[in-house]
């Protein structure tokens, strides 16, 4: 039995709807998955419903965008209360920031003589959480580039002429937001973020785990973060970071987290909820 705890749907910047994700989970011998859309929970309820039909457990999740001086740091949240009004209000604020960022990037593209319309881009994205991957595919659809990857390489990748950093929450605020929604905060793909210097600070703010297993991690990355979880008493998670057909390969099944780590995550959630209940009592 295996789990994949990092999957994106068409409700953020993936290409698959929940029914397709569940079918592929069955095909890949996954018993537990988590829907972790960027700053959106719109795909969770439908995914849980589809999962119940196929004996696939769906963990409510999120991938919160946070910002530091060098760029973005993503915080995964597991077992969140995705109906919590305060949580949803803050997600809406982040989604508005995403639209403002796209507006700036569209303006930068126009200065490069690439004339695209923001409203048309938003309609194309068909998501409450618009991001650079949407823009990359939109530029391909318009015939401006030959591939989404060319969009990043020429225009919208970090340091490229139409890039704009996302000014969202701080990592500490992202961790707090997830914790306040009853979730377990986990640092996403630390081997890609390359900000190990901030991990201790994030732990002090409530970070509880590392995404040790990730499709973009090297063996060296995996070993380093596995050891770090032991040294710092952190939970281990892992996932494919599947975006369906929006990226070069369909990654679901590429990373299969052994169920023992899922059991520990569930135990941490259970203990956390009991402690919260005692405080309220």
Mind listing the pLDDT tens digit of every residue in the chain (281 residues)?
899 999 999 999 999 999 999 999 999 999 999 999 999 999 999 999 999 999 999 999 999 999 999 889 999 999 999 999 999 999 999 999 999 999 999 999 999 999 999 999 999 999 999 999 999 999 999 999 999 999 999 999 999 999 999 988 999 999 999 999 999 999 999 999 999 999 999 999 999 999 999 999 999 999 999 999 999 999 999 999 999 988 877 889 899 999 999 999 999 987 766 655 554 44
Question: Do 37 and 115 fall within a single domain?
Answer: no
Spatial distance between the Cα atoms of 188 and 171, rounded to a whole number of angstroms = 11
Inside any domain, residue 165: no
Closest CA to 206 of 111, 75, 68, 54: 75
Inside any domain, residue 141: yes
Question: Do 7 and 76 fall within a single domain?
Answer: yes
**Other Cβ atoms within 10 Å of 98 Cβ, number:** 24
Tell me what pLDDT residue 245 has.
87
Tell me what pLDDT residue 275 has.
57
In DSSP terms, which residues pair with 184 in a beta bridge? Answer: 78
Q: What is the DSSP letter of 107?
A: H
Spatial distance between the Cα atoms of 77 and 91, rounded to a whole number of angstroms = 13
Closest CA to 99 of 167, 174, 11, 9: 167
Whose tokens are 């039995």? That residue is 1
CATH (domain of 39): 3.20.20.140
Question: Do 78 and 121 fall within a single domain?
Answer: no
The kind and range of the H/E element at 66 are strand 57-68
Inside any domain, residue 255: yes
Tell me what pLDDT residue 101 has.
97
Question: What backbone torsions phi and psi does residue 82 show, to the nearest 5 degrees?
Answer: -80, 5
Tell me what pLDDT residue 273 has.
67
Q: How many domains does the chain have?
A: 2
| Contacts of residue 32, Cβ cutoff 8 Å, sequence gap at least 6 | 1, 2, 3, 4, 5, 56, 57, 58, 59, 259, 262
Provide Rg for the chain, Cα atoms: 18
* Cα distance from N-terminal residue to C-terminal residue, the chain: 37
* pTM of the predicted structure, to 2 decimals: 0.93
Spatial distance between the Cα atoms of 155 and 11, rounded to a whole number of angstroms = 25
Tell me what pLDDT residue 253 has.
86
Task: Give the range of the structural domain holding residue 136, as residue numbers without chain letter.
Answer: 92-156
Q: Are 215 and 254 in contact (CB under 8 A)?
A: yes
Tell me what pLDDT residue 249 has.
79
Spatial distance between the Cα atoms of 122 and 239, rounded to a whole number of angstroms = 28
Tell me what pLDDT residue 247 has.
80
């Amino acid at each position: 039995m295996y789990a994949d705890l990092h999957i994106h749907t068409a409700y953020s910047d993936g290409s698959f709807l929940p029914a397709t994700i569940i079918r592929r989970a069955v095909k890949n011998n996954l018993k537990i998955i988590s829907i972790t859309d960027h700053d959106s929970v719109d795909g969770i309820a439908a995914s849980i419903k589809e999962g119940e039909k196929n004996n696939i457990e769906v963990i409510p999740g999120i991938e919160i965008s946070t910002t530091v001086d060098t760029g973005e740091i993503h915080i995964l949240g597991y077992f969140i209360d995705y109906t919590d009004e305060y949580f949803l209000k803050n997600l809406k604020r982040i989604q508005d920031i995403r639209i403002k960022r796209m507006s700036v990037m569209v303006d930068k593209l126009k200065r490069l003589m690439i004339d695209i319309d923001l409203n048309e881009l938003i309609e194309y994205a068909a998501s409450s959480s618009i991001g650079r991957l949407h823009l990359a595919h939109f530029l391909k659809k318009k015939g401006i580039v030959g591939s989404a990857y060319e969009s990043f390489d020429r225009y919208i990748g970090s340091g490229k002429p139409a890039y704009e950093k996302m000014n969202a929450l701080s990592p500490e605020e992202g961790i707090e937001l997830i914790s306040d929604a009853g979730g377990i905060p986990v640092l996403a793909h630390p081997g890609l973020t390359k900000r190990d210097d901030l991990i201790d600070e994030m732990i002090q703010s409530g970070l509880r785990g590392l995404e040790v297993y990730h499709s973009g991690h090297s063996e060296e990355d995996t070993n380093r973060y596995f050891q770090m979880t032991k040294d710092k008493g952190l939970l281990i998670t892992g996932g494919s970071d599947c975006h369906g057909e929006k990226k070069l390969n369909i990654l679901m099944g590429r990373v299969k987290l052994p169920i023992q780590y899922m059991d520990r995550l569930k135990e941490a959630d259970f203990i956390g909820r009991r402690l919260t209940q005692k405080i309220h009592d």
